[in-house]
C-alpha cells in the first residue's frame, strides 16, 4: 500500500517532471521560432539587430563603392564598435564626389609657367577664371604673344599661364634683378626666392641674360604703353587764343572754327569736321542683342559685344560722323561719332559702313553692320566711349 502509494507518488512525481520538461520544450521551440521570425529578415545585412533599418526612408545617395545602406543615425557608432568602415566618412566622400560636376575645382598649385592653347570661345577673362589668376596676369604674361593687343587672342594661340599672379618679364639687354624688381614694384628677393625661377644663387645685383623670362610674383605692370591713342586735332573758339607776340593794338587772329580732325593720315580720316553738338547726354546700346566677350580693362579700352555677322550697329547717341573707313591699327572697318565737344563713340570691326563723313546721325540709327574685320577672331562690335579722348567703361554709361 505504502509501496503503491509511494510508487504512485513517485510516478505521479515523475509524470509532473516530464510534463514540466514538455512545457519548457514547447516554450523553447516557440521562442526559437519566434526568434527566427524576428531575426531572419535582417540577417543578410550584417545590421540585423535593427530590423527598423529596412523601413528607414531611403536617403538619395548613389554609392560608388558597394557599402551597406544607411540604416539609422546610430550606424556610425555601431560600425565603429564593430570595427567596420565608418559609414559617415563614406557618406561625406560620396556627397563630395556627387557635388563634383557642380563646383569649379579649386585651381591646383602649379609648379611653374605652363602653356595653354586658346580654345574656341575663350577670352582673357574666362582663361583667368579657369586658372585662378587675375586678367591682368594673363595679359602681363603674354604681351609678346598677344602683340600688346588683346584682340590677338585667337584659337590656337599659345599663352603663358603663370603659377601665381604677377608679371612674366622678358629680360631686355642686361638687366639686374633689382632693376626688374623696381619695374614691377616688388622686392628683388621676391624674384630670387621664387621657386618658379632658377635664381637661388643670384643677388639683387646679378645681371640676367638677354631674352631670359622671369616670373615676378605679385608684380604690377603698366598698361598704357600699347593702348592705341589716335591723334585728334581739336580746334575750338573756346580754346585759349594763340599767344600773340605782336605789338599792342594788332587785331587778334580770328577764332578757329569748332572742328575735330580725328586720326589724320588714317584711311577713314574725314578731315576737320564741326563738333557734334546734338548729343543728348544719354547713351543707348549700339546693338539689339549681344554677348560680352571682353569687358573694359586698361588694356582693352572698350567692350566687345559679340553677335551675328551683319547685325545692325546703331549710333549710341545723336552725333556727327568724324571717321568712316578702314583703320590700320586693327579696328578694321571703323566709324567714330562725335556727340558733344568732349564725347566720342567708336564702332570697330564692321562688315559694312552705311554712313559718310560729316553726316548727322540720330540715336539708334543704323550706321553699320557687325563684322569681324581687322584684328578680330569672330563677329563682334568693339565699342568704345571716350571723354576728351580718354576711354571710359561704356557700361558705366549704357543701360544694362
When asked if residue 382 is in the footprint of Zn ion (CB under 5 A), the reply is yes
The number of residues that bind Zn ion (CB under 5 A) is 2
Of 14-22, 39-47, 185-193, 376-384: span binding Zn ion (CB under 5 A): 376-384
Residue placing its CB nearer to Zn ion in the complex, 10 or 227: 227
When asked if residue 190 is in the footprint of Zn ion (CB under 5 A), the reply is no
Q: Name 38's bridge partners.
A: none
Of 97-105, 283-291, 358-366, 380-388: span binding Zn ion (CB under 5 A): 380-388
Residue placing its CB nearer to Zn ion in the complex, 263 or 381: 381
Residue placing its CB nearer to Zn ion in the complex, 152 or 212: 152
| Position among 90, 136, 304, 384 found at the interface with Zn ion (CB under 5 A) | 304
When asked if residue 384 is in the footprint of Zn ion (CB under 5 A), the reply is no
Of 30-38, 122-130, 245-253, 381-389: span binding Zn ion (CB under 5 A): 381-389
Residue placing its CB nearer to Zn ion in the complex, 364 or 378: 378
CB of 151 to Zn ion, least distance (A): 6
CB of 301 to Zn ion, least distance (A): 8
CB of 252 to Zn ion, least distance (A): 44
Residue placing its CB nearer to Zn ion in the complex, 184 or 299: 299
CB of 293 to Zn ion, least distance (A): 8
CA angle (207, 139, 176) in 5-degree steps: 10
Please check whether residue 30 is in contact with residue 54, taking contact to mean a CB–CB distance below 8 angstroms. Answer: no
Residue placing its CB nearer to Zn ion in the complex, 63 or 226: 226
Of 4-12, 35-43, 352-360, 375-383: span binding Zn ion (CB under 5 A): 375-383
Residue placing its CB nearer to Zn ion in the complex, 127 or 320: 127
Residue ranges binding Zn ion (CB under 5 A): 304, 382
Amino acid at each position: 500500500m505504502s509501496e503503491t502509494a509511494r510508487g504512485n507518488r513517485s510516478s505521479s512525481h515523475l509524470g509532473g517532471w516530464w510534463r514540466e520538461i514538455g512545457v519548457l520544450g514547447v516554450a523553447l521551440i516557440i521562442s526559437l521560432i519566434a526568434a527566427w521570425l524576428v531575426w531572419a529578415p535582417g540577417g543578410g545585412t550584417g545590421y540585423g539587430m535593427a530590423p527598423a533599418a529596412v523601413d528607414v526612408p531611403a536617403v538619395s545617395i548613389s554609392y560608388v563603392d558597394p557599402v551597406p545602406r544607411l540604416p539609422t543615425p546610430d550606424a556610425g557608432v555601431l560600425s565603429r564598435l564593430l570595427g567596420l568602415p565608418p559609414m559617415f566618412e563614406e557618406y561625406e566622400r560620396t556627397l563630395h564626389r556627387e557635388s563634383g560636376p557642380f563646383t569649379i575645382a579649386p585651381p591646383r598649385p602649379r609648379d611653374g609657367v605652363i602653356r595653354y592653347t586658346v580654345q574656341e570661345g575663350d577670352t582673357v577673362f574666362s582663361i583667368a577664371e579657369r586658372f585662378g589668376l587675375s586678367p591682368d596676369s594673363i595679359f602681363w604674361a603674354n604681351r609678346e604673344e598677344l602683340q600688346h593687343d588683346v584682340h590677338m587672342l585667337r584659337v590656337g594661340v599659345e599663352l603663358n599661364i603663370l603659377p601665381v599672379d604677377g608679371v612674366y618679364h622678358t629680360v631686355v639687354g642686361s638687366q639686374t634683378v633689382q632693376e626688374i624688381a623696381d619695374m614691377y614694384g616688388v622686392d628683388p628677393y621676391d624674384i630670387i626666392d621664387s621657386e618658379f625661377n632658377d635664381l637661388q644663387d643670384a643677388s639683387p645685383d646679378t645681371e640676367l641674360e638677354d631674352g631670359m623670362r622671369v616670373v615676378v610674383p605679385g608684380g604690377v605692370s603698366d598698361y598704357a604703353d600699347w593702348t592705341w591713342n589716335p591723334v585728334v586735332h581739336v580746334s575750338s573758339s573756346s580754346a585759349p587764343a594763340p599767344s600773340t607776340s605782336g605789338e599792342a593794338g594788332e587785331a587778334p587772329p580770328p577764332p578757329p572754327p569748332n572742328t575735330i580732325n580725328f586720326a589724320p593720315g588714317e584711311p577713314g580720316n574725314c578731315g576737320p569736321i564741326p563738333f557734334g553738338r546734338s548729343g543728348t547726354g544719354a547713351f543707348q546700346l549700339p546693338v539689339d542683342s549681344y554677348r560680352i566677350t571682353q569687358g573694359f580693362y586698361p588694356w582693352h579700352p572698350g567692350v566687345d559685344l559679340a553677335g551675328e555677322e551683319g547685325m545692325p550697329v546703331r549710333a549710341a547717341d545723336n552725333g556727327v560722323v568724324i571717321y568712316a573707313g578702314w583703320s590700320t591699327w586693327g579696328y578694321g572697318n571703323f566709324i567714330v561719332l562725335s556727340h558733344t565737344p568732349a564725347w566720342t563713340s567708336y564702332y570697330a570691326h564692321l562688315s559694312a559702313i552705311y554712313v559718310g563723313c560729316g553726316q548727322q546721325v540720330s540715336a539708334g540709327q543704323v550706321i553699320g553692320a557687325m563684322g569681324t574685320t581687322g584684328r578680330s577672331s569672330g563677329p563682334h562690335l568693339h565699342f568704345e566711349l571716350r571723354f576728351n579722348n580718354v576711354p571710359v567703361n561704356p557700361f558705366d554709361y549704357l543701360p544694362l
